[in-house]
Structure 1
Amino acid sequence: MIEENTIVKATTIRRASVAGLAALALLGTTACSAVNLQATTLEYAPSDGVQANVDNVQLRNIALIAAEENGAGRFIGSLSTSDGEPAEVTITVNGESFDFSVPGNLENLMLEAEENETVVTNIGGHPGGMVDAEVSVNGTTEPLRIAVLSAALPEYRDFLPVEVSEGELTDHLYDFPEHGGGHWVGVDEDGGH
């Protein structure tokens, strides 16, 4: 006959074992965040352009729209101030400097707006790449790498600062519908991307 104390001890041991295994499982699932980079903690530009903060100015989704290497490119994106005070901003790309007056009252200066159209004569790079720039605000100057976006993308064609035919924008692209439903892929004559 089994004594009552033996049953109580076995039940207590089982409960302690289950609690211990549960604690180990919990530690195993949460310990990953202690040693692995968490993507949700990274700060990044949630659009195609880049973002930066220089002095009290916030640059958001800044990019240049261009059709060819070392061609003209138009700025898109927005500038605003973090403190509601107006600011004067200078962005320099490939030796050309452009001045922007950012309004106060937490208003954005939208570079896509027709009245703010600003064109770099020679971007010093190619669509799909990045170009070096400098941003100056209130005597503070910082380097910035600006994305150059291709006007081959329909959503950017209206911002292209030069007249280019549809063929000139897209003839170098091939449609491969058998590989994912018609994604456009840029391929040069040697078969590279």
Structure 2
Amino acid sequence: MKTRFSFGMLAAVVTVAMTGCQSGSGPTAPGSTVPKITVPGSTTPGPTSGIASCTGDGLGKRFQGGAFGGGFVTGIIEVWNPGDTPCQVSGTVTFTAQTASGATEPNAKANRTQKISLTLPAQMKPPAEGSDQHGYLVADLSGFYRDDSQQPDGLCKPQDEVTPATLVLSIGGLTVRVPNEDPAISSTDQGVSRTVYGCHGNIVLETVAVR
């Protein structure tokens, strides 16, 4: 079995302004409130004069699958800057997912309004498989595949389970698109999922932060 990511181990500076709510250790449904928080560390917070904005084409990015069970599956989008100069990421965070034909999944969304502003250092290396993502920009995702309030028994029918082809993370003017697949996970790996999926495409962006 492969070692997958950990949601902890925050090690960079990022100021996050949030509205909405997250409590406890599990995924959060839309509609609650969290205070403004500051995560200590080494990445430069806020816009910095003279540093260009990051672009989607200039950044490294990938999806990494996570654990599943209890009605939901987890995964992350990892983003890093392989370029020769630092670049800035700043703005409101949004999330969606798309089918293979490019259609948007209406039930894939962020579960709160979140704004971030930070500078990614130059010459970042791709994260090692199963690493703790120290210093990388990470978006935590949860897909809810079991429950369906539209059904009499409250359970999702197999035909209503949706696995998008592409995951789309946007922060201000920056947009990154990643295939919804982790090729490092094989069919013999136990307790981990190669993709993130949900009933009627119910996939939620939980948080975005530099770890």
TM-score by length of 2: 0.32
TM-score after normalising by structure 1: 0.34
RCO greater where, 1 or 2, for CA within 8 Å and sep 6 or more? 2
Q: Which has the larger radius of gyration?
A: 1
